Amino acid sequence: MTRTAISYLIETHDAMRDRYIEHCVAHACAIAELLVTEGRAAWIARLREVVVTNDGEFHAPLIPKRFTGANALTWNTHYVACADNEAFDPILGEPIAIDAFALAVFGRDVPIETHLDAAETKRLIAAGALRRAFPPHSRRTLAGSAK
């Protein structure tokens, strides 16, 4: 059976029953590659909230609603694969409208920006270099832990 972006979402969502696994960059890259294989114009979004104060920049915490209590996570940046007007994140397990994504995952509006547009995403996938398009600390694999 050929793996699809939807099957990846469902399988990974189900595997995250108790905790977040892997890293959002790994998921965004894997899903973007599957979407491109399916003929979709995949791109990568970045969510982060930067507040400028007199003391400098503050990166507001992103806490996914799904992982609270003993499994609470706090991030300051989150990457997600997108195509058309949908975001594909295994936290949710199904595609969702980009405009509804941050509220569904984090419980609040968080700015969503384009990290890699569709043309650059496709070019990097063809070159085998998609993972290198992220900051080094974002490329680490932290299986079983917060990103």
Per-residue pLDDT of the chain (147 residues; tens, 9 = 90+): 689 999 999 999 999 988 899 999 999 999 999 999 999 999 999 999 998 989 999 889 999 999 887 768 889 999 999 999 999 999 999 999 999 999 999 999 999 999 999 999 999 999 999 999 998 766 554 333 344
Side-chain half-sphere CA neighbours of 1 within 13 A: 6
Domain range list for the chain: 5-132
Distance CA 99, CA 86 (A): 8
Q: CA 25, CA 80: separation in Å to the nearest integer?
A: 8
| 3-state DSSP assignment of residue 39 | coil
Strands (E), 3-94: 42-47, 50-53, 56-59, 78-83, 86-88
Provide the token pair at 15: 């595997």
